[in-house]
């Protein structure tokens, strides 16, 4: 993982976010334990006009024996941010 952010070349439907260089103190004591070797990759894929599939893979071989991963499809009719309403196409 190299820490770059952006849509794939060629205009695909998946945004990939790779994050590295976490510090162990960024993990709250009662939450998930991480080391300085922690790496996180998130993928957001458009699966419809009003749906996005969100998946993640977390790798920290200093703490866990294998990568952790999961996914969820997010659907919305609209979202509200502060006093603004934004309708999805």
Expressed as residue numbers, the domain containing 67 is 5-87
CB 56 within 8 A of CB 40: yes
Indicate the average pLDDT of the chain. Answer: 75
Quote the Cα angle for 15-20-26, to 5°. Answer: 115
**Token digits of residue 38:** 């922690």
What is the domain count for the chain?
1
- pLDDT tier for residue 32 given thresholds of 50, 70 and 90: confident
| pLDDT one-digit tens code per residue, 34-75 | 888 889 999 998 888 788 889 999 999 988 899 989 999 888
CB 8 within 8 A of CB 16: yes
Answering whether pTM is above 0.75, one says no
Q: Give the integer Cα–Cα distance in Å for 25 and 83.
A: 34
Q: Give the integer Cα–Cα distance in Å for 17 and 40.
A: 8
- pLDDT tier for residue 11 given thresholds of 50, 70 and 90: low
- Which phi and psi (to 5°) does residue 24 adopt? -55, -35
């Amino acid at each position: 993982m190299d820490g770059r952010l952006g849509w794939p070349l060629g205009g695909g439907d998946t945004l990939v976010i790779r994050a590295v260089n976490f510090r162990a103190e960024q993990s709250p004591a009662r939450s998930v334990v991480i080391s300085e070797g922690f790496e996180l990759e998130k993928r957001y894929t458009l699966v419809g006009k009003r749906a996005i599939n969100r998946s993640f893979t977390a790798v920290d071989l200093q703490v866990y024996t294998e990568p952790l991963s999961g996914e969820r499809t997010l659907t919305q009719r609209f979202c509200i941010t502060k006093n603004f309403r934004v309708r999805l196409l």
